[in-house]
Amino acid sequence: MTAPVDAAEALAARVAELERERERLLAVVEILGEISGTLHFVDILQAIARKLGETFGLDRCSIILADKGGRTARLVASYEDPTIRNLVIDLARYPEIKQAMDTGETVFIADAPHDPALQHVKGALDRRKVRSISVVPITYRGAAIGCIFLRTFKEGTTFSDADVRFTQIVAELTAKALRNAHRYESLLRRSKASTEDAHRADLERLALVAFLQRLLAAFTAHDKDSIEQLLSAATGAELDRLTGVAMTVLAEEAKG
């Protein structure tokens, strides 16, 4: 009877793994759908953190971006607390995060409470009943610009190699989404600056025209009748015609 039992257990395990694979694929599709609906990087990162947390039933899922200098980083999205947006963290307190971002390699700690590098936070890990920690770097052009931090409960399912590979795929999607969001926000800034420059130029032209109008009015106001008498009727008519032509040309140029 042993062989049939073993075969049944193997089949059940395979079915369970296929079901998890289906869930991971669905999660990727949903992540792609959510991040394609916005080009604001904060919304993108929060959507990814939420979906990963829901997919794996995590104790914690955070997305962290590197600061210049390498001593600090910023927690910009959190599954367990969506209100967190820009929390500065000291990387000296999180050696696993620092290692992932320094090396660009995934860090996996199967038994976090008993890991020698995490003994300084063992009490907190025990209270939260933490089981494992995974830190997957987010890389752009070969350099780590951040990471995805995942933490599981003791009672939960441990991370498999397939789960880690899935998270690495999500990290690649995150890097591409961040690049697109950065380009979009840079374009918005350039567009805004261009609009402000054009508006400022318009104001300068208006100020110049107003100044010339006032200058001419002040110059001619005291002796307008004498100036008109010096001009012949033909000259006056020609000046009126030229003025009309000039105003027509300006009006057409303004239309683009």
**What pLDDT score does 135 carry?**
94
Q: Tell me if residue 81 falls in helix, strand or coil.
A: coil
pLDDT in tens, 75-125: 999 998 888 888 999 998 899 999 999 999 999 998 888 888 888 888 888
What's the rounded Cα separation, in Å, for the pair 142 and 172?
11
- If one counts every other C-beta atom within 10 angstroms of the C-beta of residue 58, the result is 21
Cite the DSSP H helix spans in the chain.
2-35, 41-56, 95-103, 122-127, 161-221, 224-230, 233-254
| Alpha helices, H only, 36-94 | 41-56
In a structure prediction context, what are the per-residue pLDDT tens digits for the chain, which is 256 residues long? 556 667 777 777 777 777 777 777 777 777 776 666 666 777 888 888 988 888 888 888 999 998 888 889 999 999 988 888 889 999 988 999 999 999 999 999 988 888 888 888 888 888 888 888 999 999 888 888 899 999 988 777 777 788 888 888 888 888 887 777 666 566 666 667 667 767 777 777 777 777 667 766 766 665 665 555 656 666 767 777 777 777 787 777 666 5
Topology adopted by domain 2-188: Beta-Lactamase (3.30.450)
- Helix H or strand E segment including 123: helix 122-127
Radius of gyration over every alpha carbon of the chain, rounded to an integer in angstroms:
33
Residue type, 166: F
Backbone angles phi, psi at 36, to 5 degrees: -75, -15
- Amino acid 202 reads D
